[in-house]
Structure 1
């Protein structure tokens, strides 16, 4: 029996597990956080050292629970959140907090960059507030001292690999956007537009290649792993797709954690409006991350005064209630949106509320709203690739809810398949480690051997007419309300009359207190 240490650095928690060569998770440790520091300016930041502390803490938990298994670890693989930049100086020290996937401060910089960049360059249209090039431009404008000292840009899992091995490296999947910007087009790349060179890029490795052995002298219990190989792995989406067994042509994937990611896997680098096309090392994914998902459900539960520590139980209880004949529409853009709109100024809405609607109606509206967004992305990807998805592999916390799986299958009109592993990111990281160790001849072979299916949801033809009608209304509501969202956000940012409402509310609260 072989054991590997697999880690998944998520948007709201850090998970680590000891996984054997049958794919079974033998011991697991999950730690919440670290919380990001968010504010009204659009900032969302985390100190990189906090992620390192979580890795040490999680490993300490595993070593305490299963000391013999921990000492038997043969390799390490860490996947993690993407669209998050860590800025290092030439000595490998962090220059400032990391800018997370939620940070929208570079929106204005992105707009100026798009106007200034060569419009023919393939990456120009992809520049937005979440793009590393826009964030580099923001750093140059707002924090010139940190920008001047910048020597390397890493993603979170790469930072942990660096702390474990001392080597600065990443993979072409995680760094796809920055690599695309650095690629020359007609003799010019886009990095020069923000005053940097390709030297800020770390060394590129394949996900299954070794970064290096674990260094000696690390904190307890990492010192017990000295000499074990650390494999590069990739971002959490790529790893979870592997862990769901969806890394194959014609399969779609939907990973629902704090936020959702949906895409279609194909052989050709097709392109579609608003979707990311990323080379997944022999295959291409067409799709990408949204800003909505299980966190949207948590928002609803908090709004209703229900227990947000038991999301699965609480939403299941709401869904067992009676639903009113007239459905609600929910636009799930509580934090703006990435794929497919790339607009940080989009906002959520409930459309069609009447006096008889209750908590059950709100719960269904939220789940169906997210599924409508899934369908929008899937339809664009299928049209670009010229064929329907064979099935949608569904994973993450939301996949434990059979009602949501059923809604997604019926609304998208495709079979939804849930894998046995409830932690596809950990399973994917373990598959990388075992492939790197040579236990399997290829990533595809490891996927076939270690991924099993738990449940399959076929779309119900009887519900198709109703969901087609709901989806059409959803798209109409999106188009009608997007300009209103942008105007509301702009009015608040620019200190116009609408921004005064918050001050009036504070004054009213003071009067009540008196």
Structure 2
């Protein structure tokens, strides 16, 4: 029996699947974890003690469940990103990994590099303006704030490329991840922007570029002993988790888009031609030569979890029943869900949550519905920018947040989009297994394991109410930004 391993390192857990060549999941394993928030605006992970340890744990568990006669033909790992892991020559991380856009420490370096290279030049060459999502400013931050660490570094990695290096010894980075290492990658040309990349990396070599579905090497003996994965198993590059998840549910053609309901919301839309927008991220796609637009919020499910905790920790189902009992529009209550700053489209690490219209008649259910609706208004704002590049043909919804019918329905009602919910909801690790199968030629490149199970359809009765509220919601950020920044103390907290 031909088998594949797919493993994804997420924000809240690492998940792995053992899959056959038809896409049937034979086993799955999950290990929960948390990120570290050691200072205001910082978000980190110990890459070796947490990411690599969990790869070893999950690999060992899954290989133990390979049926008699089964052979692991290939494996692929995806992960949160873009991140920055700086390692010495022996692949030992020299400091905790700096996470994606939720880590906002490099604001001064964003400004510095923007002035140095020019805002319009960055947009033209990288396709994306610098923000907390970009890796270039994070590298510059380490160089300026931790020079000893930077000097001792021999290589720099994302989450999946760090694991690929630990498994195979190869120093690579997939094109998609590289395209989020702004301003160091020329997205239109699918290659390193050599001049800017070498300026920022200084003595650090640039990783060899590969596509997410390419085999980069095989599991070496030491990695085999630690992970339980047989030595010689081909390793496919993988990519950032959201893109593996989009791939897993068939978001592969121009006009396909994915909404990922998680701790944050992440959106991916495949486009047919190069398009840059200062409020979005233009990236390389998963498949060779493809392009995509992306966007992400800084909070989503994490906001709901926070609300659950501060309102007494009631069971989730009870809270959803209360939110569902509140009419759409939340009886005049609106929320800006920017409790951890915001990424697209405002790119403001000093943004904060705002609650408007609160009265004594509002209860706990109103707060939860207002949070879901505030997140959904933000999604509409992003999707309108996506449409400027390529009108969506289909929208696929994924992620644990779909457990909340209030949230999913609010997104459809507010955006006017039908959302397709796939039968297989495992996520990025399932896309990794498919990338592995395609990468070693076990299945044809056009293979798609996704099957749609149901649709979430907009309720026309709510359209007029939400249309009016959306206009008011869009006015809240510009109307309060000065006061919010003042309260934030001029910094990220």
TM-score by length of 1: 0.88
Quote the residue 2:476 is aligned against.
Answer: 477
Q: Contact conserved, 1:332 with 1:366, CA < 8 A, in 2?
A: yes
Quote the residue 2:62 is aligned against.
Answer: 62
Q: How does 1:365-404 map to 2 (within 5 A)?
A: 365-385=370-390, 387=391, 389-404=392-407
1:166 CA displacement: 1.2
* Pairing 1:318–2:319 present: no
Go from structure 1 to structure 2 and tell me whether the alpha carbon gap of 1:3 and 1:316 turns closer, same or farther (over 3 Å shift): farther
Quote the residue 1:161 is aligned against.
Answer: 164
* Pairing 1:428–2:431 present: yes
Q: How does 1:199-218 map to 2 (within 5 A)?
A: 200-218=205-223
Instruction: Please identify runs of 4+ aligned residues in structure 1 that moved more than 6 A.
Output: none
Quote the residue 2:32 is aligned against.
Answer: 32
SS at structure 2 position matched to 1:418: strand
1:251 CA displacement: 1.6
Q: Deviations over 1:141-197 (max 9, x none)?
A: 111111122222111111111111111112000111337525499x98323554626
Quote the residue 1:22 is aligned against.
Answer: 22
* Aligned counterpart in structure 2 of residue 132 of structure 1, from 124, 132, 135: 135
In 2, the alpha carbon distance for the partners of 1:40 and 1:330 equals 26
Between stretches 219-228 and 103-112, larger displacement belongs to: 219-228
* Aligned counterpart in structure 1 of residue 312 of structure 2, from 276, 280, 305: 305
In 1, the alpha carbon distance for the partners of 2:18 and 2:62 equals 8
* Aligned counterpart in structure 2 of residue 190 of structure 1, from 189, 196, 219: 196
Q: Contact conserved, 1:242 with 1:424, CA < 8 A, in 2?
A: no
Quote the residue 1:511 is aligned against.
Answer: none
Between stretches 214-223 and 199-208, larger displacement belongs to: 214-223
In 2, the alpha carbon distance for the partners of 1:194 and 1:209 equals 27
* Pairing 1:142–2:145 present: yes
In 2, the alpha carbon distance for the partners of 1:140 and 1:341 equals 27
Quote the residue 1:463 is aligned against.
Answer: 462
1:32 CA displacement: 0.8
Between stretches 137-146 and 276-285, larger displacement belongs to: 276-285
Q: Which has the larger radius of gyration?
A: 1
Quote the residue 1:413 is aligned against.
Answer: 416
* Aligned counterpart in structure 2 of residue 232 of structure 1, from 221, 234, 237: 237
In 2, the alpha carbon distance for the partners of 1:226 and 1:143 equals 37
Go from structure 1 to structure 2 and tell me whether the alpha carbon gap of 1:492 and 1:222 turns closer, same or farther (over 3 Å shift): closer
1:430 CA displacement: 1.3
Unaligned ranges ≥5, structure 1 = 494-498, 500-514
Q: Contact conserved, 2:224 with 2:231, CA < 8 A, in 1?
A: no
1:461 CA displacement: 2.2
Go from structure 1 to structure 2 and tell me whether the alpha carbon gap of 1:245 and 1:327 turns closer, same or farther (over 3 Å shift): farther
* Pairing 1:294–2:301 present: yes
Q: Contact conserved, 1:345 with 1:486, CA < 8 A, in 2?
A: yes
SS at structure 1 position matched to 2:387: helix
Q: Contact conserved, 1:390 with 1:414, CA < 8 A, in 2?
A: no
Q: Contact conserved, 1:217 with 1:223, CA < 8 A, in 2?
A: no
SS at structure 1 position matched to 2:4: strand
Quote the residue 1:74 is aligned against.
Answer: 73
Unaligned ranges ≥5, structure 2 = none
Q: How does 1:118-129 map to 2 (within 5 A)?
A: 118-123=118-123, 126-129=129-132
Q: Contact conserved, 1:263 with 1:381, CA < 8 A, in 2?
A: no
TM-score by length of 2: 0.91
Quote the residue 1:342 is aligned against.
Answer: 347
Q: Contact conserved, 2:256 with 2:394, CA < 8 A, in 1?
A: yes
1:259 CA displacement: 1.1
In 1, the alpha carbon distance for the partners of 2:491 and 2:222 equals 51
In 1, the alpha carbon distance for the partners of 2:223 and 2:195 equals 39
SS at structure 2 position matched to 1:178: coil
Q: Contact conserved, 1:74 with 1:228, CA < 8 A, in 2?
A: yes
Q: Contact conserved, 1:249 with 1:283, CA < 8 A, in 2?
A: no
Q: Deviations over 1:180-217 (max 9, x none)?
A: 525499x98323554626x5321111111111111113
Quote the residue 2:110 is aligned against.
Answer: 110
Q: How many residues align?
A: 481
Q: Contact conserved, 1:371 with 1:407, CA < 8 A, in 2?
A: yes
Go from structure 1 to structure 2 and tell me whether the alpha carbon gap of 1:224 and 1:41 turns closer, same or farther (over 3 Å shift): closer
